[in-house]
């Protein structure tokens, strides 16, 4: 994964509507949502401007799907205000829906019907007349590589092809706000590249896109900015460059056979799921000293990774866990074996809430 890409669509003015411009494609203010005793979203404020792609990041259960469902009017918020192009999906759900397209995480295709019949059905639901619908079907199918599959039954398509059909359905009425909930889950490299290229084209033409994913590389490929949810709270929002500057500490990551040993180094150390992370601004320079500090435990070291500041280390710093789905199986946050204060050298970051410094030498 490369770092510091030039964000193609960073939003210089986060809230044009507040300065008297046209309404934003999406505006959330203090939005909260609970399911019984579970707080799925807590005081979330987020804007998406015309032509902006926002990569919505967060671990399983962070609140991404809930956010999209609220915006699409499928759920009602318990607190706060949502506007889609200036229209409230709570007060005027039908009008708000006209401006948005949603491709939910769960596939919503009808296997016995052909691709064209599936798309036609959704075009009709979106209120398109027959001739217009046929034009839009061709228009949505081509960039997603579906033209040659239009007369095939969806049930006979591969999983990745079905997901492309599912995505095309959300595009038929040319929405100004597009909500894509993990659109590349389970698709191959080619489908992913095609989808990302098309999202970039749509954004270049002015579509605002909220794109949830567990693959951080996609945020950079999309030229997107990022919004990070952690336990229902929006913990970061900005361009990749800004987030890396503000939160992108580096780390030396060590994996051992058996339990990680205690480690005395002049940088903060955290442990999560059997992995030690030594947090240093220049991890490649810290690595030799970290190795030397292992002493008798060195033969048990099975992997060492130098994590240069990137969106991945931003995510780690903010959530305490790796980004990939299923990469971490433990509970969020790191477990402290022994707490100790920062050494005050200034080259190690202060771990955020939810992570505990394990052992830092006082120097």
Ligand X SMILES: Nc1ncnc2c1ncn2[C@@H]1O[C@H](COP(=O)(O)OP(=O)(O)OP(=O)(O)O)[C@@H](O)[C@H]1O
Among 7, 63, 99, 223, binds ligand X (CB under 6 A): 63
How far apart are CB 220 and ligand X at their closest, in Å?
Answer: 19
Question: In the chain, helix, strand, coil percent, each to 5?
Answer: 35, 25, 45
**Nearer to ligand X (CB atom), residue 15 or residue 105:** 105
Q: Does 360 bind ligand X (CB under 6 A)?
A: no
**Nearer to ligand X (CB atom), residue 41 or residue 123:** 41
Among positions 31-60, residues that touch ligand X (CB under 6 A) are: 35, 38, 40, 58, 60
Backbone angles phi, psi at 265, to 5 degrees: -140, 160
**CB-based contacts of 76, cutoff 8 Å, min separation 6:** 70, 90
Q: Does 349 bind ligand X (CB under 6 A)?
A: no
Among positions 92-151, residues that touch ligand X (CB under 6 A) are: 105
Both tokens assigned to 218: 């996609």
How far apart are CB 246 and ligand X at their closest, in Å?
Answer: 23
Q: What's the number of CA atoms in the CB half-sphere (13 Å) around residue 283? A: 21
Measured N-to-C along each axis, helices 159-171 and 130-141 cross at an angle, to the nearest 10 degrees, of: 130
Among 7, 44, 64, 323, binds ligand X (CB under 6 A): 64
Stretch that binds ligand X, among 2-10, 64-72, 133-141, 344-352 (CB under 6 A): 64-72
Give yes or no for a contact between 207 and 176, defined as CB atoms under 8 angstroms apart. Answer: yes
How far apart are CB 230 and ligand X at their closest, in Å?
Answer: 10
Both tokens assigned to 348: 């190690």
**Nearer to ligand X (CB atom), residue 213 or residue 239:** 213
How far apart are CB 61 and ligand X at their closest, in Å?
Answer: 4
Stretch that binds ligand X, among 62-70, 196-204, 281-289, 331-339 (CB under 6 A): 62-70
The Cα–Cα gap between 207 and 136 comes to 16
Both tokens assigned to 93: 């759900």
Q: Does 61 bind ligand X (CB under 6 A)?
A: yes
Give yes or no for a contact between 99 and 177, defined as CB atoms under 8 angstroms apart. Answer: yes
Residue 72, helix vs strand vs coil: coil
Q: Does 66 bind ligand X (CB under 6 A)?
A: yes
Per CB under 6 A, residues contacting ligand X are 35, 38, 40, 58, 60-66, 105
């Amino acid at each position: 994964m490369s770092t510091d890409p030039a964000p193609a669509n960073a939003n210089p003015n986060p809230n044009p509507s507040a300065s008297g411009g046209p309404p934003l494609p999406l505006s959330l203010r203090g939005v909260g949502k609970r399911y019984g005793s579970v707080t799925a979203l807590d005081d979330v404020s987020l804007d998406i401007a015309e032509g902006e792609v926002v990569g919505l990041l967060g671990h399983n259960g962070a609140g991404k799907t809930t956010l999209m469902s609220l915006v699409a009017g499928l759920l009602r918020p318990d607190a706060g205000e949502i506007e889609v192009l200036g229209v409230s999906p709570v007060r005027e759900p039908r009008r708000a829906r006209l401006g948005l397209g949603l491709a939910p995480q769960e596939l919503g295709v009808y296997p016995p019907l052909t691709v064209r019949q599936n798309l036609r059905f959704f075009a009709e639901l979106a209120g398109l007349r027959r001739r217009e619908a046929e034009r839009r079907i061709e228009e949505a199918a081509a960039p997603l590589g579906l033209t040659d599959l239009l007369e095939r039954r969806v049930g006979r398509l591969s999983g990745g092809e079905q997901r492309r059909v599912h995505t095309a359905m959300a595009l038929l009425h040319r929405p100004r706000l597009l909500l894509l909930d993990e659109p590349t889950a389970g698709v191959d490299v080619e489908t992913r590249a095609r989808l990302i290229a098309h999202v970039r084209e749509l954004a270049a033409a002015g579509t605002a896109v909220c794109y949830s994913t567990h693959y951080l590389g996609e945020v950079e490929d999309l030229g997107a900015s990022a919004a990070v949810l952690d336990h229902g709270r929006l913990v970061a929002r900005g361009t990749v460059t800004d987030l890396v500057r503000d939160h992108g500490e580096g780390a030396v990551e060590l994996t051992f056979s058996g339990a990680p040993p205690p480690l005395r180094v002049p940088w903060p150390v955290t442990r999560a799921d059997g992995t030690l992370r030594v947090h240093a601004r220049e991890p490649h320079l810290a690595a030799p000293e970290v190795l030397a500090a292992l002493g008798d435990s060195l033969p048990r070291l099975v992997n060492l990774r130098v994590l240069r500041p990137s969106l991945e280390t931003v995510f780690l710093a903010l959530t305490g866990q790796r980004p990939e789905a299923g990469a971490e199986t433990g509970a969020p946050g790191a477990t402290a074996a022994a707490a100790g204060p920062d050494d005050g050298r200034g080259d190690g970051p202060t771990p955020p809430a939810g992570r505990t410094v394990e052992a830092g030498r006082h120097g």
